[in-house]
Amino acid sequence: MLSVTLWLIFFKIILGHLHMPTVYVNDKPVEIGTKKLNCIQAAELAGVFIPSYCWHEALTVVASCRMCLVEVGDLKDGKLAMQPRVLPGCQTPVKDGTVIVTGEYDKRDASLPALPYDPGYVKGGAPGLRAKKSQADTLEGLLINHPLDCPVCDKAGECKLQDFSFKYGRSESRMVDVKNTPPNKPQLSSKITLFTDRCIMCTRCVRFTREISGTAELMVHGRGHHEEIDTFPGKPLENKLAGNVVDLCPVGALGSKDFLYKQRVWYLKESDGVCSRCSTGCSTHVDSNKDIVYRLRARTNPEAQGFFMCDEGRYGYHFANSTERFLRPMAKVDGALKPAAWNVITPQLKQAFAKAVTDNAKSVVGVLSPFLTVEEAFLFATYFASLSPDVRLVLGPVPVVGQDDKYPKDVKGNPVEPTKFVIHAEKCPNRLGVEAVLKHFQGSVIPFATVAKEGVSAMWFAGGYPDKSAVEASDWKAPALLVVQDLFATSVTAAATFILPGTSNFEKDGTFVNHAGLAQTFARSVKPPTEVRTELQLAFDMLGRKGLVQAATIRAELAKAIPFFAGLAATKLAANGVRFELPTV
The answer to whether residue 508 scores a pLDDT higher than 50 is: yes
Question: Confidence band (pLDDT; 50, 70, 90) for 460?
Answer: very high
Tell me the mean pLDDT in the region 494-504. 96
Find the mean pLDDT for residues 440-467: 93
Q: Are residues 115 and 68 in the same domain?
A: yes
> Rounded to the nearest 5°, which phi and psi values hold at 438?
-65, -40
Query: How buried is residue 511: exposed, middle or buried, by Cβ count under 10 Å (0-12/13-18/19+)?
Result: buried
- The tens digit of pLDDT for each residue in 105-164 reads 999 999 999 999 999 899 989 999 999 999 999 999 999 999 999 999 999 999 999 999
Residue 351: inside a domain: yes
What integer pLDDT is reported at residue 78 of this predicted model?
86
In the chain, pLDDT over 90 holds for what percent of residues?
A: 86
pLDDT class for 311, splitting at 50, 70, 90? very high
The distance of Cα 575 from the centroid of its chain, to the nearest Å, equals 12
Amino acid of residue 265: V
Q: What CATH number did the domain enclosing 493 receive?
A: 3.40.50.740
Q: Considering only CA atoms, give the Rg of the chain.
A: 29
Same domain, 525 and 478: yes
In this predicted structure, the answer to whether residue 507 has a pLDDT above a threshold of 60 is yes
Q: How far apart are CA 353 and CA 385, in angstroms?
A: 12
Number of structural domains in the chain? 3
Parallel/antiparallel/unpaired status of strands 283-289 and 292-298 = antiparallel
Dihedral, CA of residue 32, residue 34, residue 39 and residue 43, to nearest 10: -20
Q: Which of 387, 350, 337, 348 is nearest to 365 (CA)?
A: 387
CA atoms of 156 and 524, how far apart (whole Å): 26
Across all residues in the chain, what is the average pLDDT? 93
Whether 39 and 151 map to the same domain: the answer is no
pLDDT at 177: 87
For 67-82, give one letter per residue: b (16+ CB within 10 A) or e.
bbbbbbbebeeeebeb
pLDDT tens-place string over residues 18-53? 578 999 999 999 999 999 999 999 999 999 999 999
Running DSSP on this structure, what letter comes out for residue 178?
Answer: P
Residues 104, 183: one domain?
no
Same domain, 150 and 104: no
Nearest-angstrom CA–CA distance, 14 and 26: 30
CATH code for the domain in which residue 76 is found = 3.10.20.30
* One domain, residues 459 and 521: yes
Please compute the mean of the pLDDT values over residues 363-377 and round it to a whole number: 97
Q: Are residues 364 and 451 in the same domain?
A: yes
Is the per-residue pLDDT at 584 higher than 80? no
How far apart CA 503 and CA 527 sit, in angstroms, is 10
Average the pLDDT over 571-584 and give the result: 86
Is residue 253 domain-shared with residue 365, that is, in the same domain? no
Task: Say which residues have a Cβ less than 8 Å from residue 17's Cβ, sequence separation at least 6.
Answer: none
Does residue 217 form part of some domain?
yes
Write out the residue range of the structural domain in which residue 525 sits.
Answer: 330-394+428-579
Q: Please report which confidence band the pLDDT of residue 1 belongs to, taking 50, 70 and 90 as the band edges.
A: very low
| 152 in the same domain as 111 | no
Task: State whether 200 and 78 are in the same domain.
Answer: no
Confidence band for 482, pLDDT divided at 50, 70 and 90? very high
Compute the distance between CA of residue 293 and CA of residue 322 in angstroms, rounded to an integer. 11
Q: Mutual orientation of helices 342-360 and 374-387 as an angle, nearest 10°? A: 50
